[in-house]
Amino acid sequence: MKKFIITTTINTPTKAIRKFDNNPDWSLIVIGDKKTPKDYNLKNGIYISPDEQEHYDKSLSDAIGWNCIQRRNFGFLKAYDLGADIIATIDDDNIPLNNWGDEIYVNKNIEIECYDTDQIAFDPLYVTNYKHLWHRGFPIQLINKRNCKKTKNQITVDIQADFWNGDPDIDAICRIEHAPICEFDINNFPFTSFQFSPFNSQNTFLSKKVLKDYFMFPHIGRMDDIWASYYVESLNYKVVYGKPTVYQERNDHNLINDMKKEYIGYENNLELLKDLKLSPDKINKYLPERSREAFKLYQRHF
């Protein structure tokens, strides 16, 4: 089985990257950007420079643009070309714990705890020991309406979104208010839901079959991976949330700027989910033309 780790960075190799690069069971691919140091070097993994990306697909490169995390899409394409069976997408400030990659549910049929809700979306943080927090991209209109009941279900897993100790993936409003440093209770995991639920691109495992539909949409701020999650769920790919396997030492962020980049989600997430329930193609109603074009250029590689 071929397993690849994908990320992009503008930093010199971080502590997290060095650990991932030394993992003997996975192959690391790092996608460079215009701000990435010219002498970026890995011991074992593959570094793909901006020039190499342009040579691979100039039109897609132009459509995505530079100095953005969505360059990571080139890593997904490289892993696909190399025959990947499972793809892990990670951030360079998420330091892998000793259990990272040990329990992979992707491509397996498992019986699992499933949370149902009478709302259109389920918040995965609501069933943890930090239920006062909410996941980035969860519709803010539903925060005070969250509810769920637990059952058991059998599912085949397409996506596994592992959690993160330390600074969790919450939106800017939640981070400004609570500024949490978390240690999640592992007894709450794993679990799933049949409702829409947000997952990110910073510690997530994907089946190869998901790649043609999983695209980090450019030009929509900090909803790039969130709308990608909602889109693939509208296509009936199944996601499981796993226990924390990284510690996030979050890179410096301006929280007001983050909030501005999340506004497109505050305004549109709830209506997007209502439309996606009708048809996955409704995603195009919310994407700018350049983002729609980039997705088409990406999908032609499959």
Q: What is the CATH number of the domain that holds 106?
A: 3.90.550
CB 61 within 8 A of CB 40: no
Total domains, the chain: 1
Q: What is the pLDDT of residue 250?
A: 84
Picking from 86, 247, 99, 84, the residue whose alpha carbon sits closest to that of residue 159 is 86
Mean pLDDT estimate for the chain: 97
What's the length of the chain?
302
In angstroms, the CA 106 to CA 110 distance is 10
CA–CA distances in Å: residue 158 to residues 87, 136, 196, 201, 235: 11, 21, 15, 14, 11
pLDDT in tens, 17-47: 999 999 999 999 999 999 999 999 999 999 9
Q: What is the pLDDT of residue 275?
A: 98
CB 90 within 8 A of CB 200: no
Q: What is the pLDDT of residue 251?
A: 76
Max Cα–Cα distance, the chain, nearest Å: 52
pTM: 0.97
**pLDDT reading at 292 higher than 90:** yes
Question: What percentage of the chain exceeds 70 in pLDDT?
Answer: 100
Tell me the average pLDDT across 218-246: 98
Enumerate residues 6+ apart whose C-beta is below 8 A from 166. 181, 182, 246, 247, 248, 249, 250
Structure tokens at 45: 């993994």
pLDDT in tens, 59-112: 999 999 999 999 999 999 999 999 999 999 999 999 999 999 999 999 999 999
**pLDDT reading at 171 higher than 90:** yes
Q: What is the pLDDT of residue 252?
A: 78
pLDDT in tens, 241-291: 999 999 998 877 899 999 999 999 999 999 999 999 999 999 999 999 999
Note down the domain range covering 135. Answer: 3-299
Name the pLDDT band for 178 (thresholds 50, 70, 90).
very high
